Amino acid sequence: MRPVIDREWLLLRLACQMLTRLPAARGTDYTPALDASAVRYYPAVGIIVGLASGAAFAAAHDPFGPLPAAVLAIAASALLTGAMHEDGLADTADGIGGGASAERALEIMRDSRIGVYGMLALILVTAAKLFALATLSPWLGLAVLVAAHGLSRWSVVLVIATARYVRASGTASPVAGTVSPLSHLIAGGTAVACLALAGYAASPQAAAGILVGLACGHVAIRVAFQPKLKGYTGDCLGATQQVSQLGAYLGLLACL
């Protein structure tokens, strides 16, 4: 039993190191197979990020007001993750908006410079998240941030499981491939826990709204990148997280 617990603990640490700036697995010997298995804990890492973001929101809400609290919440998550998902959103928007072909889109997405499409995507998505969060009370904002961060990383796992990685190599290449039934069970179970938290903090109807909004965001971003690229890249996973998270917020607001 102990080796199983040790392995799962290692996978959680690897997932944390992949998705955040925390050196959770530094100095550890690991393999691409371990990286691929670690996707089962992406939603759990989302909960960790959501806790940091939600704590910033709740702490700042009363002394500074809801909009500054929302700004600090988004800043906290960006600092913890190194803004890797925001970077993926910008690169994906630039590639899909500026590339007439899949090859040109992939070339643009490798460019570290941000273009008009990427800037617009970042501004619009961030502004929408800010104003959505600014409507929430401190406790509800904390709970929703935890739930939405966890659920949006589950959305990423679904892309990995159901689409083809289109680059020969890249940041997401170690996790590309089949997601095991156990990984689906753990990731999906974590997502259910996030929905339960949202239902407890708000209402079952609000939790349903979050799920519907998440699904809409997931489908919308995949419709944007998958037909052109015939699959996904690491940048597309970041875009999936961002748009799915926004969809969860908007779904909540529609049911409050």
Please report whether residue 22 resides in a domain.
Answer: no
Please compute, for residue 236, the number of CA atoms within 13 A of its CA located in the half-sphere on the CB side.
33
Cα 188 to Cα 85: distance, rounded to the nearest angstrom: 21
pLDDT at residue 29 in the model: 67
Q: What is the pTM of this model?
A: 0.94
Please report whether residue 135 resides in a domain.
Answer: yes
Please report whether residue 15 resides in a domain.
Answer: no
Burial of residue 216 (CB within 10 Å: 0-12, 13-18, 19+) is middle
Contact predicate 225/164, CB 8 Å? no
Please report whether residue 178 resides in a domain.
Answer: yes
Please report whether residue 4 resides in a domain.
Answer: no
Query: Containing domain of residue 86, as a range?
Result: 39-255
pLDDT values of the chain reduced to their tens digit, one per residue, 256 residues: 668 888 899 999 999 999 999 988 776 766 778 888 999 999 999 999 999 999 999 999 999 999 999 999 999 999 999 999 999 999 999 999 998 899 999 999 998 899 999 999 999 999 999 999 999 999 999 999 999 999 999 999 999 999 999 987 656 556 667 799 999 999 999 999 999 999 999 999 999 999 999 999 999 999 999 999 999 999 999 999 999 999 999 999 999 8
The CA radius of gyration of the chain, in Å to the nearest whole number, is 17
Can you give the length of the chain in residues?
A: 256
Distances (CA, A) of 31 to 14, 34, 176: 10, 5, 13
pLDDT at residue 13 in the model: 93
pLDDT at residue 171 in the model: 61
**DSSP letter assigned to residue 232:** B
pLDDT at residue 183 in the model: 96
What token pair was written down for 125?
């998505």
Cα 248 to Cα 87: distance, rounded to the nearest angstrom: 20
Beta bridge partners of 232: 165
pLDDT at residue 170 in the model: 58
Contact predicate 218/244, CB 8 Å? yes
pLDDT at residue 32 in the model: 78
Please report whether residue 14 resides in a domain.
Answer: no
φ/ψ of residue 101, rounded to 5: -130, 170
Structural domains of the chain, count: 1
What token pair was written down for 70?
């929302």
Please report whether residue 6 resides in a domain.
Answer: no
Please report whether residue 64 resides in a domain.
Answer: yes
